[in-house]
Structure 1
Amino acid sequence: MFSLSAFSQSYPVYTPELKLKEKFRLFDSTTSSTEQKQNSGSQFSKPTYKVNYLKLATITGVTAGAFWWLHNYQKNAWWSGQRGKFHFQNDWDYAMSADKTGHFFDGALLQAIYRGALEWAGFSPTASTWLGAAFSIAYMTDIEIEDGFATDWGFSMGDQICNVAGALYPVAQFYWKPLRSFNFKWSYLPSEDITSGKKNGAFLDDYNGQTMWLSVNVHDFLGKKAKKFWPDYLNIVTGYGVNHYQEYDKRYADYYVGLDINWERIIPGNSKFMLWFKNVINHFRFLPLPALRFNKDGVTYIVNF
């Protein structure tokens, strides 16, 4: 956007004998300082990005190692001794849909991890955002394909839809600023199934111990006067969790409303690493904070994760 003040300056008087190159030189000299500063970051001065291939190789190596470990962990936890023909499975209601919210969260978390890593390696924010989503979808799709060959599971279109939606939600936030005020979080406290040894320790599907949260940056929606009385890091959060999800006659849901912390606004540091670190940990709710819990037994005031 051009600055009107820049054009209000006095220009050299035009004379017909000025050559074309001289005209451009004179124009540049009158707009070189103030206007270029005002338009920094606009079409006049676009930032340049250069990929650091050593950093990219580091990301590739860490990814390969992490994927190998996770694949073997999931193989032992879910797929051991279950190899069969590829098949589909309709499981939208599995674990009272806590499984689906988990897939959405996993897709968003992986996207955030890779977006920050790729920006650190020198990719532009736009490229990092899209590539992060692509890596997230690729990994989650690999899990679904493995599920498709497991006799007790199956390729779930519900899971895959949530995987893709979760990976693309940060992309939508990148392009539409109001969405940045709404972020999904996850918290976990081992359920009795884990602590008693009933389950094999696979916390990823310990849905009785998981809670999914939607954290809202209230400060973003307040007027100027109200902002003075509400800390920008204090959020309102709603939550969803399940109990006894495997026992159809006993299972029930918990709903929560409470307070939350936006770690991106309270932890100092603006380096690429710190921005990435704050964004990643902001996907988790790990401090005990006050909340109201609503379920079949009524309303309870609690302090929970």
Structure 2
Amino acid sequence: MNRFSRRLPWLAAGGTTLYAGGLLLLNEAWYQDKPQTRFHWFNDAGEWKQMDKVGHFWGSFHESRLGVDMLRKAGVPEKKAIWYGGALGFLLQTPIEYFDGRSPDYGASLTDIAANAAGSLGVIAQQLAWGEIRVQPKFSFHRTRYAPLRPNVLGKGPSEEFLKDYNGQTYWLSVDLAKFLSTESKWPKWLNPAVGLGAEEMVFNYADANRAIGLSAYRQYYLSVDLNWQAIPTRSKFLRSAFYVLSIFKFPAPALEYSIRKGFRAHALYY
């Protein structure tokens, strides 16, 4: 038994404790001031231009990526590390639907659960196909003028808006192109092409409510480049850990935007 295998039970116990504490904090932050109802389902597939679903995919993907990497380091056999670790995102994200299902303002969502599953499967599929992650979802955020119009929902201040204001959130697929090219290719390993998805003019969940205040929600599509943090060589364990965490975010860079509303727009620096 290697040292990682001996640490596996402690890692599992620590992770379980942290997760339970996280659920308690989530319950306090989101649901404490609201009455609870009987558990119920709610179809929210048409809300927020599905940006919340993409967020579920992003979160589940990176939790599953971490699960696979941790089990590998613990010495778990490869296939088990991929399947068990790859399921982590789904297992962590889906219980949150219980809290939504008890809230009168929300409801458990099958499309949220499907997005959680898709995030986990995105990791499992790549690990089975290539033994590594080559296409990675990433996140970027900028503040918008919409949050002050409905701060109780879209957030009060930068930290809340980061989580709640879908207008300022952009989700990306960053492609590690160097891993798809031949070893003779001169494409720099630290540079990835990236495609992004965003949306704006979403103050309320539905089109009619937005139109009542003169807004009409629309999607935005982006083409950009991204920094592949984990391709930067370093011997520092601290920097490797920092690069691992930073790899869930899109690096600010020039970008080309397209939307039906505004056509093509160039950004010297977009995040």
Q: Does TM, scored on the shorter chain, surpass 0.5? A: yes
State percent identity of aligned pairs: 28
Alignment partner, residue 114 of structure 1: 67
**Where does the alignment leave 5 or more consecutive residues of structure 1 unmatched?**
1-47
Alignment partner, residue 206 of structure 1: 165
- Does 1:243 pair with 2:236? no
Relative to structure 1, the CA distance from residue 168 to residue 270 in structure 2 (aligned partners, 3 Å threshold; closer, same or farther) is: farther
- In structure 2, C-alpha distance between the alignment counterparts of 1:211 and 1:104, rounded to whole Å: 13
CA offset at residue 246 of structure 1?
Answer: 2.9
Alignment partner, residue 90 of structure 1: 43
Equivalent residue for 2:231, pick from 260, 265, 281: 265
* Deviation by residue 1:62-97 (Cα, 9 ceiling, x = unmatched): 441344135423542256413101111111122101
- In structure 2, C-alpha distance between the alignment counterparts of 1:117 and 1:195, rounded to whole Å: 41
- In structure 2, C-alpha distance between the alignment counterparts of 1:190 and 1:301, rounded to whole Å: 19
Amino acid at match of 1:110: E
- In structure 1, C-alpha distance between the alignment counterparts of 2:242 and 2:221, rounded to whole Å: 29
Task: Say what the alpha-carbon RMSD is for the aligned residues.
Answer: 2.9
Largest Rg, 1 or 2: 1
CA offset at residue 243 of structure 1?
Answer: 1.1
- In structure 2, C-alpha distance between the alignment counterparts of 1:137 and 1:214, rounded to whole Å: 19
Alignment of 1:1-305 (within 5 A): 52-54=5-7, 56-78=9-31, 80-177=33-130, 180-193=133-146, 198=151, 199-200=155-156, 201=160, 203-222=162-181, 227-228=185-186, 230-247=187-204, 248=207, 249=211, 250=215, 251-269=217-235, 278-285=243-250, 287-295=251-259, 296-302=261-267, 303-305=269-271
Relative to structure 1, the CA distance from residue 90 to residue 175 in structure 2 (aligned partners, 3 Å threshold; closer, same or farther) is: same
Residues 292 and 300 of structure 1 are in contact (CA less than 8 Å); yes or no, is this contact kept in structure 2? yes
Amino acid at match of 1:112: R
Residues 56 and 112 of structure 2 are in contact (CA less than 8 Å); yes or no, is this contact kept in structure 1? yes
Report which stretch shifted further, 73-82 or 110-119: 73-82
- In structure 2, C-alpha distance between the alignment counterparts of 1:75 and 1:268, rounded to whole Å: 40
Report which stretch shifted further, 100-109 or 192-201: 192-201
Amino acid at match of 2:174: S
Alignment partner, residue 21 of structure 1: none
- In structure 2, C-alpha distance between the alignment counterparts of 1:213 and 1:113, rounded to whole Å: 19
**Where does the alignment leave 5 or more consecutive residues of structure 2 unmatched?**
none
- In structure 1, C-alpha distance between the alignment counterparts of 2:183 and 2:88, rounded to whole Å: 40
- In structure 1, C-alpha distance between the alignment counterparts of 2:41 and 2:163, rounded to whole Å: 21
* Deviation by residue 1:217-241 (Cα, 9 ceiling, x = unmatched): 233444566x22x212211111011
Amino acid at match of 1:256: Y
Any idea what SS the aligned residue of 1:176 has? helix
Amino acid at match of 1:258: S
Relative to structure 1, the CA distance from residue 213 to residue 95 in structure 2 (aligned partners, 3 Å threshold; closer, same or farther) is: same
Residues 174 and 226 of structure 2 are in contact (CA less than 8 Å); yes or no, is this contact kept in structure 1? yes
CA offset at residue 119 of structure 1?
Answer: 3.0
Amino acid at match of 1:203: F
Any idea what SS the aligned residue of 1:158 has? helix
- In structure 2, C-alpha distance between the alignment counterparts of 1:253 and 1:74, rounded to whole Å: 31
- In structure 1, C-alpha distance between the alignment counterparts of 2:188 and 2:264, rounded to whole Å: 27
